[in-house]
Chain A
């Protein structure tokens, strides 16, 4: 959603619309996280009246989908791909192989046994 997008590009990696969208979702989640956690606390607190908890449930489900952590997906910073991304290197397996063979990743070495 364009209202979550920053007016000026603020990321320095490979950029396409999917990466920009994912970055917007990350920032939206960061901004809404305290509110989400407060609502989750109210929902899980069994000592509160049932009505309060039900209202909190409704409020949480009615928050914008960009503020949900499950919308966030790790993407490759070199190509934007979403599948086969190695979490430690933020890269797809192919890009990881190319970078590792080129010696751009400190401490990564080809092994065979």
Chain B
């Protein structure tokens, strides 16, 4: 039992009307499949985790409200550094100015 082509085309046309797709009986390549694709950019760009909020960001955000904000870890570190310095075990001072040009040369 064969169905005439005209009838099949009419069916296809009705289908396209119902589902609001493009009626393209010849199968011409219109590139519509590109337009149907979803954009992959946002999911690809979200691959690496976002930067975490640090204590300093918190301080900068709420510091202007003059609330008492203390970073315990930072205070502990500063205390440790002060203790080292008091014992004369602190970090050396930064150099000021360019290095002496004769310093690196070997003496004969």
List residues of A whose CB falls within 8 A of some B CB. Answer: 9-13, 19, 22-23, 26-27, 29-31, 33-34, 37, 40-47, 69, 72, 74, 77, 90
Residue pair B50, A69 in contact (C-beta under 8 Å)? no
A-B contacts, CB under 8 A, total: 68
List residues of B whose CB falls within 8 A of some A CB. Answer: 28-31, 33-35, 37, 39-42, 44-45, 47-52
Q: Which of B41, B49, B52 contacts A30 (CB 8 A)?
A: B41
> Given A37-B39, A44-B29, A46-B28, is A23 in contact with B48 using a C-beta cutoff of 8 Å?
yes
Shortest beta-carbon distance from B78 to chain A in Å: 25
Q: Which residues of B contact A19 (CB under 8 A)?
A: 48
Q: Which residues of B contact A29 (CB under 8 A)?
A: 41, 44-45
Residue pair B31, A45 in contact (C-beta under 8 Å)? yes
Q: Which residues of A contact B51 (CB under 8 A)?
A: 9-12
Residue pair A40, B50 in contact (C-beta under 8 Å)? no
> Given A30-B42, A30-B44, A72-B44, is A12 in contact with B49 using a C-beta cutoff of 8 Å?
yes
